[in-house]
Structure 1
Amino acid sequence: MLTYLKSLPSHARILLSPAQMRLLIRRSEFGLIAVAALVGVMAGVGVAAMSWISQALHQLVFGIPVGERLSSASSLSPQIILIAPIGGGILLGLLLLWLRKSRKKPMVDPIEANALHGGRLSLTDSVIVAVQNLISNGFGASVGLEAGYTQLSSGLASKIGLLLQLRRADLRILVGCGAAGAIAAAFNAPLTGAFYAFELIIGTYTVLSLAPVVVSALIATFMARLLVGDAFLIDIGKFGTVMPADYLPAIVLGIVCAGAGILLMQGVTYVEELARKSSISPIFRPALGGVVVGLLGLVDHQVLSAGHGALHVNLNQSMTISAVLAVLLMKSLASAISIGAGFRGGLFFASLFLGALLGKLFAYCTPYIFEHATLTPVVYAVVGMSALSVAVIGGPLTMTFLALEITGDFPITALALAAVITSSVVVRTTFGYSFATWRFHLRGEGIRSAHDVGWVRNLTVGKLMRTDVRTAPVTMPLDEFRKEFRLGSTQRVVLIDERGTYSGLILLPDIYAAPREENNEPQSLTAFARYQNDVLLPTMNAKQAAAIFDKTEAEALAVVSNQTERKVIGQLSESHLLRRYAEELDRRRREVSGEI
């Protein structure tokens, strides 16, 4: 890298063009690490700024003292508790009304961006999502800020990558760096942030992505600590010693958390489906959801906002079973209604809070089921946090490292790992989705992770087909056909009717191999036509086309404009499709390994 810099003119060493920066990043890992460090700085500042704005809104709207958390505030006005979520819903409705006129395309989150769009995120849309998240959280809706953190940080990272004209693989890594920095800063947990990026945003771990992602997470954590101090620390207090007999209760807790996570995701879906089936406009749904959240807040204000304060209160105090169960049910209901009604936010912190409550509830039952268990309710709460979060969010190692960075204790981390793996396997085998991928599934997207599948969709039949197709009218006499298409002149001829509509595919060897008729009556070409109902569309991707080839066992198929008009526009062979598919696969492999 130094040799390359020395070869540049003196003025270019001060300010490199995007093309030169791109070349620098390609030639050396240090270039990408430097950009990742910049992304980490921006992520840490962004998380600190959003957190400060949210706290300022809580102080302004609810009148809480400086330094106090909304969900653990000692005294709140009942009128404000009821009115504030409704006011936030009205603001979101007005913002949605404006977005309907100004933003026609749906907003893309970091997982979808990396899976389908090669890391391309709109910074404007990311800022809008962050603003929506701040309004939702700031006015008391039961959602966390993590969705806004990751969206804003990943959007900034994508913008930097696009300005530098980075290649697809580097841009995807940079988006992961943004998300890693956001989560690391939000929880003061760089390992958690890094593996959040690997498991949920990038979709895989590679040696090349390790350094940029970890650097971004570390710098973002440092920046957040510098700006907001210990505001993001989760203090679990004192905990006991882990014994071998404690692993079985932890595994059972993992199964319980898996079931609770599935119920929570389906609860959100049920509320959204109920809202869609109603005649209520999406503009008014957040305000109506705010009414329900406000009423729940009147019963117990621990359901308001993300629940940072309530989590600390519930971790370190003794509570009755009925009290824990009541908070658990109301927080679950408030979170499901908030997101289902249209408030913008995620379930990351809500799942941590609910997991802690479920862990404490499980701890009260443990002595009656597992007589040799020795864990304290606080340890069960930590295990429950990790197990329920992995059920909802995904990322087993992410949630395991969160337990490690919260406790600093390896035996508890091993216990959490057992519960996390159990929960993850149960959810994957019985439900099959995390919260994000479940929502993709509901709208028709077949995304199970952030693995890069966008290139498959971009490799369409329209881009692969040949347009120099030889056609013949279906009414052409056989003798005339033989004169027009000599053996060896082509392999296939597409038949069309008088309107130009596709009528079948003829293999030329079939014509010349057929016995000649003794009489002079012309033989119809339709007797030799194949694949009359099997065609390709230009919008199909390579995977869909390969499935059709496999089903029909054809060597080549005609490409038609659409299923209605069936105008022939091209032809595609299976050998060419598979060759191009293999070339693209090899290209992605070399990008991941750093060969190109």
Structure 2
Amino acid sequence: MNPSTISSAKAPLILAPARLRAWVRGSEVALVLLAAVTGCVGGLAVAGMSGASQLLREWLYRLPAGQRLSSLTDLPTEGLMGLPFLAPALGGAVLGLMLLVSTRGRGRTKRAAVDPIEANALHGGWMSLRGSLDVAAQNVVSNGCGASVGLEAGYTQIAAGIASRLGIAFEMRRSDLRTLVGCGSAAAIAAAFGSPLTGAFYAFELIIGTYTIATLAPVVVAALCGSLVMRALAPQPAFVDVGALALAKSAAVDAGDTLPCLALGLICAGLAVLLMRGVTLVENGFRASRLPAPVRPILGGLCVGGLALATTPQVLSAGHGALHIYLAPEATAGLGALAGLVVAKAAASAMSIGSGFRGGLFFASLFLGALVGRLFAGLGPMVWPGFEAFGLAPVGYAVVGMSAFAVAIVGGPLTMTFLALEMTGSFPVTGLVLASVIASSLTVRKTFGYSFATWRFHLRGETIRSAHDVGWMRNLTVGRMMRKDLRPVPLDTPMATFLRAHPLGSPSRVVVVDEHDRYAGIVLVPEAHARAAENGGEAPRLADVVRYPTSFLLADMTVKQAAAAFDQAESETLAVLDDAQSRRVIGLLTESHTLKRYSEELDRQRRAMLGEAA
């Protein structure tokens, strides 16, 4: 996609003054300063979205100030005329209206807003600020009405969108713009969890796609600034802090506890894959119902609200309040209640996302993992002889399960490991978390192949599986590499005329076309002269020496597709056509030039990753 179609095309881009742009483009210090600004803005955006969502929940459910919806044991009776379970459906109706407004006048060409992973993988960091604002607003409505979705997708979307627009204003290079988008995402996650290291590695693993010295300073500075701004605006911990909780039964946790943690990681991986499949099944079900897209969230909201009424309000919203409950050492829920809550929360999340509510599974995966960890700790003594000898306490298994489940859904093993470290402050427990997330991540990668975000890309027909920059490869098309200065020869040209016009030593390959100017093949000049000599000086027809009549390239093919076409045709040169139906010749491309341009781009990408001057 052309970047101009991703940015807001209706309004001209606002650029910084030329001298300031030159300084930012040429100075690493300037990039770090811009990353700090991005981090501060990201922290403000997270605070604003979090506050707006909480106010909406308090108004819909008549909650006391600061009360978390998912911490309730029963739905309040005074909300929405005594029918608070209708709040998700009301939110679905509002969301449907927002979808209608956002798509009005854009017809069927309306594209979904590009998220940070897709932007960095395919578009060099270009994102639409308007689209990001739409996503953030829809995410606030979805989470605020009680749908079982988290705000993290909206946090990263708006922060990365702002970062992208800042980078565009300074006309930053592709690699620097991708880094700045990573800075926005790092600031958002760091602010959301109060965890700078988690935010930084979220950017490295999931948004930028790699860790380099060149990206270290700006990303870490952005994460620190985002966390500090959020801490200044919301002094109380925004989410979970189990640093003071008893994670071990005894004074020490040793390497022997690794075995059950590995088993827990494998269990979490399997359940996470089921959840991702479940979301897809629900989404396909809503699509098969043929209900208009703006109406589906209403039905989904009714299902989620009914589920909360039938089970527990802890299935509503992201689950922050409920996670506090189940990460407490004194939590005493029965095994049946835990298992039921796992099923109910997974169903609520699948129905919410499948029906069209905006949000992700980041925090839902943390909550579900904590529940699975608690359940594992309770069932362990019943099915595992000697389980009591392990030193990890139930809340420790909750932390391990939380990280293992989240890495299966979100990805980023180091991200989830640092989240556990910053939450617990325990290096021994973090070591167990690392073993568990490696087992979970490896299992999902080998059996399923996707995180939730990349699985959604796959369902849309995209082939990307990470934020690694492959957009340059798509931009390096045949149309950009081909030679246009060629004159095709008619197929009915007499051989003698052709040989006089193309003597030995002239360009060795000539494109020929039929009487309708359609591509007919390529003539190898040395071969034509040799065939003419074999036939007593003149071959009967030019068509006798035409080669590759069915092998050609199209202008929109990528360099990778072109290389495959050369291999299949076993030719060093192929004609470029406008399309396969009209077969009009528009250029010529050689395999050597294709490989040369590909090698040059690979080298440029390598130098950009290492922070070397171009």
TM-score class normalised by the smaller sequence: over 0.9
Instruction: Report the AA paired with residue 332 of structure 1.
Output: A
Deviation (angstroms), 1:230? 1.8
Aligned to 2:18: 19
Spell out, residue by residue over 1:517-539, the C-alpha distance to the aligned partner (whole angstroms, 9 max, x if none): 66899612222111111110000
Spell out, residue by residue over 1:2-39, the C-alpha distance to the aligned partner (whole angstroms, 9 max, x if none): xxxxxxxxxxxxxx954323332344321111111101
Spell out, residue by residue over 1:405-433, the C-alpha distance to the aligned partner (whole angstroms, 9 max, x if none): 01000000000000000001000011111
Equivalent-residue separation in structure 2 for 1:192 and 1:358 (angstroms): 22
Deviation (angstroms), 1:356? 0.2
Name the CA shift for 1:48/1:83 in 2 (closer, same or farther; >3 Å). same
SS of 1:127's partner is helix
Deviation (angstroms), 1:470? 2.9
Equivalent-residue separation in structure 2 for 1:127 and 1:219 (angstroms): 21
Instruction: Report the AA paired with residue 142 of structure 1.
Output: S
Give the conservation status (yes or no) of the 8 Å contact 2:315–2:344: yes
Instruction: Report the AA paired with residue 306 of structure 1.
Output: A
What TM-score, normalized by structure 1, do the two folds share? Answer: 0.95
Aligned to 2:100: 97
Q: Please give the residue correspondences for 1:231-310 in structure 2 after superposition, counting only pairs within 5 Å.
A: 231-236=237-242, 237-240=245-248, 241-299=252-310, 300-310=312-322
Aligned to 1:36: 35
Aligned to 2:505: 488
Name the CA shift for 1:514/1:122 in 2 (closer, same or farther; >3 Å). same
Alignment of 1:416 with 2:433, yes or no, is yes
Aligned to 2:6: none
Aligned length: 581
Q: Which one of 151, 156, 159 corresponds to residue 165 of structure 2?
A: 159
Q: Which one of 142, 150, 154 corresponds to residue 148 of structure 2?
A: 142
Equivalent-residue separation in structure 2 for 1:56 and 1:170 (angstroms): 37
Spell out, residue by residue over 1:177-236, the C-alpha distance to the aligned partner (whole angstroms, 9 max, x if none): 000000001001000000000000000000111011111111111110110112414133
Aligned to 1:7: none
Q: Please give the residue correspondences for 1:37-76 in structure 2 after superposition, counting only pairs within 5 Å.
A: 37-73=36-72, 75-76=74-75
Give the conservation status (yes or no) of the 8 Å contact 1:249–1:370: no
Q: Which one of 79, 84, 87 corresponds to residue 84 of structure 1?
A: 87
Equivalent-residue separation in structure 2 for 1:229 and 1:223 (angstroms): 10
Equivalent-residue separation in structure 2 for 1:256 and 1:328 (angstroms): 13
Deviation (angstroms), 1:477? 2.1
Deviation (angstroms), 1:80? 3.5
Is the deviation greater in 483-492 or in 286-295?
Answer: 483-492
SS of 2:127's partner is coil
Alignment of 1:531 with 2:548, yes or no, is yes
Equivalent-residue separation in structure 2 for 1:499 and 1:518 (angstroms): 29
Q: Which one of 356, 359, 376 corresponds to residue 370 of structure 2?
A: 356
Name the CA shift for 1:75/1:520 in 2 (closer, same or farther; >3 Å). closer
SS of 1:557's partner is strand
SS of 1:505's partner is strand
Equivalent-residue separation in structure 1 for 2:273 and 2:581 (angstroms): 41
Give the conservation status (yes or no) of the 8 Å contact 2:482–2:576: yes
Equivalent-residue separation in structure 2 for 1:262 and 1:198 (angstroms): 24
Equivalent-residue separation in structure 2 for 1:337 and 1:410 (angstroms): 37
SS of 1:445's partner is coil
Equivalent-residue separation in structure 2 for 1:429 and 1:74 (angstroms): 39
Alignment of 1:189 with 2:189, yes or no, is no
Instruction: Report the AA paired with residue 394 of structure 1.
Output: G
Equivalent-residue separation in structure 2 for 1:522 and 1:375 (angstroms): 86
Q: Please give the residue correspondences for 1:173-188 in structure 2 after superposition, counting only pairs within 5 Å.
A: 173-188=179-194
SS of 2:121's partner is helix
Equivalent-residue separation in structure 1 for 2:21 and 2:610 (angstroms): 18
Alignment of 1:510 with 2:527, yes or no, is yes
Give the conservation status (yes or no) of the 8 Å contact 1:64–1:73: no
SS of 1:256's partner is helix
Deviation (angstroms), 1:239? 1.8
Aligned to 1:4: none
Alignment of 1:367 with 2:378, yes or no, is no
Equivalent-residue separation in structure 2 for 1:329 and 1:66 (angstroms): 30
Equivalent-residue separation in structure 1 for 2:418 and 2:55 (angstroms): 31
What TM-score, normalized by structure 2, do the two folds share? Answer: 0.92
Q: Which one of 491, 512, 523 corresponds to residue 474 of structure 1?
A: 491
Equivalent-residue separation in structure 2 for 1:587 and 1:520 (angstroms): 51
Deviation (angstroms), 1:117? 0.6
Q: Which one of 471, 484, 488 corresponds to residue 454 of structure 1?
A: 471
Instruction: Report the AA paired with residue 548 of structure 1.
Output: A
Give the conservation status (yes or no) of the 8 Å contact 2:239–2:320: no
Equivalent-residue separation in structure 1 for 2:83 and 2:547 (angstroms): 73
Aligned to 1:501: 518
Give the conservation status (yes or no) of the 8 Å contact 2:531–2:539: no
Is the deviation greater in 96-105 or in 130-139?
Answer: 96-105
Instruction: Report the AA paired with residue 322 of structure 1.
Output: G
Q: Which one of 349, 366, 369 corresponds to residue 335 of structure 1?
A: 349
Deviation (angstroms), 1:402? 0.5
SS of 2:554's partner is coil
SS of 1:118's partner is coil
Give the conservation status (yes or no) of the 8 Å contact 2:68–2:321: yes
Q: Which one of 526, 546, 570 corresponds to residue 563 of structure 2?
A: 546
Spell out, residue by residue over 1:330-352, the C-alpha distance to the aligned partner (whole angstroms, 9 max, x if none): 00000011001100001000000
Instruction: Report the AA paired with residue 119 of structure 2.
Output: A
CA RMSD after TM alignment: 1.5
Equivalent-residue separation in structure 1 for 2:487 and 2:429 (angstroms): 70
Equivalent-residue separation in structure 2 for 1:147 and 1:80 (angstroms): 29
Give the conservation status (yes or no) of the 8 Å contact 1:354–1:388: yes
- Off by >4 Å, runs of 4+ in structure 1: 517-522
Instruction: Report the AA paired with residue 278 of structure 2.
Output: G
Equivalent-residue separation in structure 2 for 1:480 and 1:513 (angstroms): 15
Instruction: Report the AA paired with residue 135 of structure 2.
Output: V
Q: Please give the residue correspondences for 1:184-223 in structure 2 after superposition, counting only pairs within 5 Å.
A: 184-223=190-229
Equivalent-residue separation in structure 2 for 1:80 and 1:144 (angstroms): 23
Spell out, residue by residue over 1:126-161, the C-alpha distance to the aligned partner (whole angstroms, 9 max, x if none): 110000000100101000000010000001111111
Aligned to 2:581: 564
Equivalent-residue separation in structure 2 for 1:231 and 1:135 (angstroms): 23
Instruction: Report the AA paired with residue 587 of structure 2.
Output: G
Name the CA shift for 1:370/1:577 in 2 (closer, same or farther; >3 Å). farther
